[in-house]
Amino acid sequence: MIGTQATEAIRAELARRPRGWLGLPVQRWRRITQAGFFILFIVAPIFDIFRLDLNLGHLILFGFDWTLGLEGYAEGRISTVEATMNLLLRGFLPLVAVAGTILFAGWKWGRLYCGWLCPHFSVVETINQTLRRAIGKQSLWDRKPQPERNPDGSVTKRDAIWWLAVLPLTIGFAMLWAVVLLTYLLSPAEIYGNLVNGTLTRNQTIFLTAATIAFFVEFMFARHLFCRYGCAVGLFQSLAWMGNDKAMVIGFSRERARDCASCNSACDQVCPMRLNPRNVKRMMFACVQCGQCVDACDHTQAANPDGALLNWVHDLHAESEAAFNARAARAAQPSCRRQEA
């Protein structure tokens, strides 16, 4: 009896511990990687780490000119075979290596780049949380406001005054993205110098104005839609992920669905992509592996000796999740919600 009680106490203690590495919770690590990559996204063209200079007509990589080596062919200094080899070694193979790395990561771990690195998704999450403070929803298109109480017990109250932060923040992000995008195409020194001195050329002004308007509309009204279907990097990661039944996925312990009665669909509420994490893999096509649903479940089930119902799973457990019948899952969730009610 004592042994059983001790085991249950240990399991309950483990359930309360935040997931993470080296003493830092998972979400803290994710914020660090997101912030680091966002900074890299901004400074990469400034320090010539990576950019495509339209004036020079070639890439710049780590301070070096990256050309296809066809100048010699145009001048008659190299043969057709040498030009073909240059195209293969300097163009095709590097492209395959980069695309292959992204697709392999997607095949094995899902849209890990999106949830942990992508600078666009950092903007999505920032606007989500600021908008929630203004209207109680992470998206203008959500049907109902979220509960004010968060899974960790904190409270996020709705106040319309936060619109004074939402709109400037969205405009600021749109302008930043427009400027940074232009520095990937033209000399950063020229662009930032022209901005500071107010001497932008006509074409630069047109580009920045059009790009800022486009990014504002996307960030404000269609940021989730773009992440799901408009981003080629995310889309191909999802397609690769769907092709691997043993890939890492959020698994739901459906045999314990009654335990969901102790929370208010916390996992659904926190998902930045506005998905339903308890659904089957095929219905989670746009999942970015951020793990916020897992953390929410950890918090709401902290007192449950059996632990959380949502966990990252892989291999055989992931295969079982991928093979689960979608109709059965849809039937399980309403019953789960009835318990919550």
Sequential DSSP letters for 161-184: GGHHHHHHHHHHHHHHHHHHHHHT
Q: Return the structure tokens found at 244.
A: 């691997």
- pLDDT value for 325: 57
SS3 for 149?
Answer: strand
- pLDDT value for 327: 54
- Whole-angstrom Cα distance, residue 335 to residue 258? 8
For the chain, the domains span: 2-31+236-340, 34-64+111-230
- pLDDT value for 71: 79
- Whole-angstrom Cα distance, residue 85 to residue 97? 16
Cβ atoms of 165 and 128 within 8 Å: the answer is no
- pLDDT value for 20: 67
- pLDDT value for 18: 59
Cβ atoms of 152 and 182 within 8 Å: the answer is no
- Whole-angstrom Cα distance, residue 216 to residue 226? 13
**pLDDT tens per residue across all 341 residues of the chain:** 444 444 444 444 444 455 667 778 999 999 999 999 999 999 999 999 999 999 998 999 999 999 888 877 777 788 888 889 989 999 899 999 999 999 999 999 999 999 999 999 999 999 999 999 999 999 999 999 999 999 988 999 999 999 999 999 999 999 999 999 999 999 999 999 999 999 999 999 999 999 999 999 999 999 999 999 899 999 999 999 999 999 999 999 988 888 888 788 899 999 999 999 998 888 899 999 999 999 999 999 988 888 899 999 987 777 777 766 555 544 444 444 444 44
- pLDDT value for 7: 43
Strand ranges (DSSP E) for 33-181? Answer: 50-53, 58-61, 64-66
pTM: 0.85
**Which residue(s) pair with 64 in the sheet?**
61
